[in-house]
C-alpha cells in the first residue's frame, strides 16, 4: 500500500512508519486511500463471482458449478458488491474529499475514522471466508429472506456477523461525515454554498444512520430464529416470513439511495467543470436530493408487490414510488441544463459523467416501468429486474465512482491520469456493459426468472451474449489498474487546479495534496 502514496507526501508525518503507519493512521487521506483500495479489491472479488455465474449461464445445462454453489455465488456477489465495493468506495471519496472541500484539517473524529475502516477487512474476511466453512456461504440471496435463510448453515451466521460489523462501520463513518460537514466548514461556507458532493453525502449519512440499525435488527432476528428458538419469521412458531421483507426493504430502499446519492454529488462536481459553466439549479438539486431521501422511506413495499398485499397497499406504494421520478427527473434536467450552452471538453471524467447520465437514466426509466404495480407482477423476480438494478448500480454508482476517481486522481497522486488509457477504459466499459445487461431486459420480458442456474432453451441466445459482454466488462476493469499504477508512478505533473475550470477549495491546495491541509481554515468567499 505504501507504494500508492509517494514518500514526499509524508514530509510532515511523524508517526510510525511502514505497516504500523497504515494501521494506526488517523489521517483522512490515508484512510480514504485505504477505503478506496479495499473497495477495489472487493469489487474484483465480487466480479470474479459474477463471472463464474455468467460462465454457468453461458449455455443451458449445468456445466461449471452445481446449483448449491451457484446460489452461494449470486448471494455473495450481491453482498460483496453492495457492502464491500460500492458503499466503502463512496466512504473513501468522502474521507479524501470532504475535508478538502469544506476546508477542514481532517475528519471530525479521526481515531473513530481509523476504526471505521479497520472493521471492514475483518468483516470481509468473515464474509469471504464463509465459502470455506461446512455448508459453504449463505445461499439465501443477498436479501436473506427467511425461512430460506433460517435453513442455511453456519455461512449464514458469518454473513450476519459480517453485516453487523459493516453496519457499525457505516454508522460510525456516517456520524463522522455529518459532524465534519456541520461543524468544520471554513468560515464563509454556508450550507447553501457547499459543493453539492458535500450535500449529497450529508443526506446520505443521515440515511445510513437511520437504516443500518434496521438491517442489524432484521438479521439479529434471523440469528435468534436460527439458534435461540424465537419465531419472528417462522410460521410454524406463529411468525411471519413477510415481516422480514418489510423490515429488510425499509432498510433496503434507502440503501439504494445511499449508493446513488453520492454518485449524483460526484457528477454534479464534474459536469460544471468540463462545461465551464456553474451548476444549473443548485438549490433545486439540494431540494431534489432531500426529497429523494425522504421519499425513500415510504416506498419499500414496491419490492413486494408479488407477496399479495391488499389493493390499497399496492396503490399507495405504486403512487409513492412513481413520485420519486419527479426529483430524479429534476436532477437529470439540471445536469443537461448545465451542459447546455457550455463550452464542453470531454476528458475522461466528463466522458464517464455523460455516460453516467445516459445509462443511469435508462435504468431510471425501467425503474418507472417496474413501479407500475400491475406490470411489476410480470417483471418481479425476472431478469428485467436484474437488468434494471445493474443499470442504476453499475452504470449509476460505479460509473460515477470511476468519473470521480479520474477527476481527483491528480489531487491524490500529483499526476494527470493517462487520457488515452482512461478513454479506452470508458469506451470498453460502456460497450461491454450494454452488451451484458441490455439483453437481460428481453430475457426478463420473455419470462426468465432470476437466480436460476439453468434455463429453458428460448433464453439461450441472450444469455450467451450477456456472458460474452460480462467477460469483456470484467477484463475492461483491469485497464483501470493500469491507469492508476501509471498515475501513481509518474506522468504529466498536475497543477493545484488540475482541470482548467475546476472550482472548489480542494483545487487551492497543491497536487498531490500534502499530508496535512488546511491546518488553518481558509476563508471561503
Residue numbers 151-170 binding other proteins by CB under 8 A: 151
77 is catalytic: yes
3-state secondary structure of 345: coil
Which of the stretches 13-21, 46-54, 237-245, 423-431 binds other proteins when contact is defined by CB under 8 A?
237-245
The minimum distance between CB 70 and other proteins, in angstroms, equals 8
Which of the stretches 397-405, 454-462, 481-489, 517-525 binds other proteins when contact is defined by CB under 8 A?
454-462
Question: Is there binding between residue 308 and other proteins (CB under 8 A)?
Answer: yes
Q: Which is nearer to other proteins, 85 or 466 (CB)?
A: 466
Which of 169, 296, 361, 436 is catalytic? The answer is 169
Phi first, then psi: give them for residue 85, nearest 5 degrees: -100, -65
**Cα–Cα dist 327/428, whole Å:** 31
Q: Which is nearer to other proteins, 3 or 236 (CB)?
A: 236
Question: Is there binding between residue 340 and other proteins (CB under 8 A)?
Answer: yes
199 is catalytic: no
Which of 255, 347, 376, 506 is catalytic? The answer is 255
170 is catalytic: yes
Q: Which of 10, 112, 240, 419 binds other proteins (CB under 8 A)?
A: 240
Name residues contacting other proteins, limited to 86-125 (CB under 8 A): none
Question: Is there binding between residue 179 and other proteins (CB under 8 A)?
Answer: no
Cell numbers at 29, concatenated: 487521506
106 is catalytic: yes
Q: Are 56 and 68 in contact (CB under 8 A)?
A: no
Binding mask 245-264 for other proteins (x = CB under 8 A): --------------------
Which of 106, 225, 347, 506 is catalytic? The answer is 106
Cell numbers at 105, concatenated: 484539517
Q: Are 416 and 494 in contact (CB under 8 A)?
A: yes
Q: Which is nearer to other proteins, 110 or 452 (CB)?
A: 452
224 is catalytic: no
Which of the stretches 106-114, 193-201, 207-215, 445-453 binds other proteins when contact is defined by CB under 8 A?
445-453
Q: Which of 133, 464, 482, 496 binds other proteins (CB under 8 A)?
A: 464
Which of 29, 164, 277, 302 is catalytic? The answer is 302
3-state secondary structure of 25: coil
Torsional class of 152: left (φ above 0), alpha (ψ -120 to 50), beta (otherwise):
beta
The angle that helices 399-413 and 28-56 make with each other, rounded to 10 degrees, is: 140
Q: Are 465 and 496 in contact (CB under 8 A)?
A: no
The minimum distance between CB 156 and other proteins, in angstroms, equals 13
Q: Which is nearer to other proteins, 109 or 442 (CB)?
A: 442
Which of 185, 277, 331, 411 is catalytic? The answer is 331
145 is catalytic: no
Size of the site for other proteins (CB under 8 A): 98
**Cα–Cα dist 329/171, whole Å:** 29
Give me the DSSP letters along 393-430.
Answer: IIIIIIHHHHHHHHHHHHHHHSBPPPHHHHHHHHHHHH
Q: Which of 442, 482, 497, 522 binds other proteins (CB under 8 A)?
A: 442
**Cα–Cα dist 14/10, whole Å:** 8
Q: Which of 374, 519, 520, 525 binds other proteins (CB under 8 A)?
A: 374
Which of the stretches 23-31, 183-191, 315-323, 482-490 binds other proteins when contact is defined by CB under 8 A?
315-323
Question: Is there binding between residue 294 and other proteins (CB under 8 A)?
Answer: no
Phi first, then psi: give them for residue 156, nearest 5 degrees: -65, -40
Over its C-alpha atoms, the chain yields an Rg (Å, rounded) of: 23
Q: At a CB cut-off of 8 Å and minimum separation 6, what does 41 contact?
A: none
Question: Is there binding between residue 203 and other proteins (CB under 8 A)?
Answer: no
302 is catalytic: yes
**Cα–Cα dist 424/113, whole Å:** 35
Name residues contacting other proteins, limited to 39-68 (CB under 8 A): 58-63, 67-68
**Cα–Cα dist 513/507, whole Å:** 9
**Cα–Cα dist 194/522, whole Å:** 14
Closest CA to 354 of 275, 470, 439, 256: 275
3-state secondary structure of 254: helix
Which of the stretches 16-24, 93-101, 373-381, 420-428 binds other proteins when contact is defined by CB under 8 A?
373-381
Which of 96, 249, 257, 406 is catalytic? The answer is 257
Please compute, for residue 393, the number of CA atoms within 13 A of its CA located in the half-sphere on the CB side. Answer: 20
**Cα–Cα dist 137/402, whole Å:** 30
Q: Which of 2, 19, 235, 294 binds other proteins (CB under 8 A)?
A: 235
328 is catalytic: yes
Q: Which is nearer to other proteins, 45 or 314 (CB)?
A: 314
Q: Which of 1, 365, 493, 523 binds other proteins (CB under 8 A)?
A: 365
Catalytically active residues, by annotation: 77, 106, 142, 169-170, 253, 255, 257, 268, 302-303, 328, 331, 450
Amino acid at each position: 500500500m505504501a507504494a500508492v502514496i509517494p514518500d514526499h507526501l509524508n514530509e510532515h508525518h511523524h508517526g510510525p512508519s511502514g505497516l504500523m503507519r497504515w494501521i494506526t493512521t488517523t489521517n483522512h487521506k490515508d484512510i480514504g486511500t485505504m477505503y478506496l483500495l479495499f473497495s477495489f479489491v472487493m469489487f474484483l472479488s465480487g466480479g470474479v463471482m459474477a463471472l463464474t455465474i455468467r460462465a454457468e449461464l453461458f449455455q443451458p445445462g449445468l456445466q461449471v458449478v452445481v446449483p448449491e454453489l451457484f446460489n452461494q455465488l449470486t448471494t455473495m456477489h450481491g453482498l460483496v458488491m453492495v457492502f464491500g465495493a460500492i458503499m466503502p468506495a463512496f466512504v473513501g471519496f468522502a474521507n479524501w474529499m470532504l475535508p478538502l472541500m469544506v476546508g477542514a484539517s481532517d475528519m471530525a473524529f479521526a481515531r473513530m475514522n481509523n476504526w471505521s475502516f479497520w472493521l471492514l477487512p475483518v468483516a470481509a474476511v468473515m464474509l469471504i471466508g464463509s465459502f470455506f466453512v461446512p455448508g459453504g456461504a449463505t445461499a439465501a440471496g443477498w436479501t436473506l429472506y427467511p425461512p430460506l435463510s433460517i435453513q442455511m448453515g453456519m455461512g449464514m451466521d458469518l454473513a450476519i456477523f459480517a453485516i453487523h460489523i459493516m453496519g457499525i462501520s457505516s454508522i460510525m463513518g456516517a456520524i463522522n461525515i455529518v459532524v465534519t460537514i456541520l461543524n468544520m466548514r471554513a468560515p464563509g461556507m454556508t450550507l447553501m454554498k457547499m459543493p453539492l458532493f458535500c450535500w449529497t453525502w450529508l443526506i446520505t449519512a443521515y440515511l445510513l444512520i437511520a437504516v443500518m440499525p434496521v438491517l442489524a435488527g432484521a438479521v439479529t432476528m434471523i440469528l435468534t430464529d436460527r439458534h435461540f428458538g424465537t419465531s419472528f419469521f417462522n410460521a410454524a412458531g406463529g411468525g411471519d416470513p413477510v415481516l422480514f421483507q418489510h423490515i429488510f426493504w425499509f432498510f433496503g430502499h434507502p440503501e439504494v439511495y445511499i449508493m446513488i446519492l453520492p454518485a449524483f454529488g460526484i457528477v454534479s462536481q464534474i459536469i460544471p467543470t468540463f462545461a465551464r459553466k456553474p451548476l444549473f439549479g443548485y438549490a433545486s438539486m439540494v431540494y431534489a436530493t432531500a426529497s429523494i431521501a425522504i421519499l425513500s422511506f415510504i416506498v419499500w413495499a414496491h419490492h413486494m408487490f408479488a407477496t399479495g398485499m391488499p389493493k390499497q397497499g399496492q396503490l399507495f406504494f405504486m403512487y409513492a414510488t412513481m413520485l420519486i421520478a419527479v426529483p430524479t427527473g429534476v436532477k437529470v434536467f439540471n445536469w443537461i441544463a448545465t451542459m447546455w450552452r457550455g463550452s464542453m471538453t470531454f476528458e475522461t471524467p466528463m466522458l464517464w459523467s455523460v455516460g453516467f447520465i445516459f445509462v443511469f437514466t435508462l435504468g431510471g426509466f425501467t425503474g418507472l416501468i417496474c413501479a407500475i404495480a400491475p406490470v411489476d407482477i410480470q417483471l418481479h423476480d425476472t431478469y428485467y429486474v436484474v437488468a434494471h438494478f445493474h443499470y442504476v448500480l453499475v452504470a449509476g454508482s460505479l460509473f460515477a465512482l470511476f468519473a470521480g476517481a479520474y477527476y481527483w486522481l491528480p489531487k491524490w497522486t500529483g499526476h494527470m491520469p493517462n487520457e488515452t488509457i482512461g478513454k479506452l477504459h470508458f469506451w470498453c466499459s460502456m460497450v461491454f456493459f450494454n452488451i451484458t445487461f441490455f439483453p437481460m431486459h428481453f430475457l426478463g420480458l420473455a419470462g426468465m426468472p432470476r437466480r436460476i442456474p439453468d434455463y429453458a432453451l428460448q433464453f439461450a441466445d441472450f444469455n450467451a451474449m450477456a456472458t460474452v459482454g460480462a467477460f469483456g466488462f470484467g477484463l475492461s476493469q483491469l485497464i483501470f489498474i493500469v491507469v492508476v499504477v501509471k498515475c501513481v508512478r509518474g506522468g504529466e505533473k498536475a497543477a493545484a487546479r488540475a482541470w482548467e475550470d475546476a472550482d472548489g477549495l480542494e483545487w487551492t491546495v497543491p497536487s498531490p495534496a500534502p499530508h496535512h491541509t488546511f491546518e488553518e481554515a481558509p476563508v471561503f468567499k
